[in-house]
Amino acid sequence: MKILVVDDEKTLVKGMKFNLENEGYQVECAYDGAAAVELARNNKFDLIILDVMMPELDGLEACMRIREFSNVPVIMLTAKSEDADKLMGFECGADDYLTKPFNILELKARVRALLRRAAGVQRIQGAVLTVGDLSLNTEERVAIRDGQVVDLTAKEYDLIELLMRNPRRVYSRENLMNVVWGYTYTGDYRTVDVHIRRLREKLEKNPAEPDHIMTKWGVGYYFKG
């Protein structure tokens, strides 16, 4: 697995590189957002660790630019712990968030979990889920609407696959957070709402009146098969 680590704190980058390489990962480093985008465009990475506050181009803008051409999993690093900042990161396409200062063991655990989910370890090989004009190729982890491939982040894909595999089953936000993000994830449940909204924008013909990704008011979300 190949990981890109991006942060303008060179000592922190050196520490992350050392610890991740000890886990067997290949690690490349960059120190500003512009370099991160360029490296991501020209290389195949399995995961990117991206700091928010950086020169040239901040992490949020860099993440949005990377999302224009790649669905690589992204972990954002930030010195701020406010929910609004985390939600902004998810809006920009991040898959996970870690607040500085962090324990390197937690970083490595999140890296492993995100890579495992992105690889689709639990998926059924070769299966294609189809409902109306929407299909999921679970082997390639690709969403298709009206014959066109739709770019989804790793978390967006995990979320829609779970819902499509269990049509009409209503999941609370807490259930979805536990299953898709993991029981140890400490983020706000509104993260689920952000991802549901983005999925509707990408997969529904009319996001305001969805045909598939439905809300059970006061309970949670479900997929209408």
Domains of the chain: 2-119 (3.40.50.2300), 128-223 (1.10.10.10)
Q: Which residues pair with 89 in a beta bridge?
A: none
CA distance 40 to 62: 10
Does the pTM exceed 0.85?
no
pLDDT along the chain (225 residues), means of 10: 95 95 94 94 94 90 90 88 74 88 91 78 57 84 88 92 87 87 69 94 93 92 87
The b/e string for 150-170 (b: 16+ C-beta within 10 A; e otherwise) is bebbbbbbbbbbbbbeeeeee
Residues 63/76, Cβ–Cβ less than 8 Å: yes
CA distance 36 to 74: 12
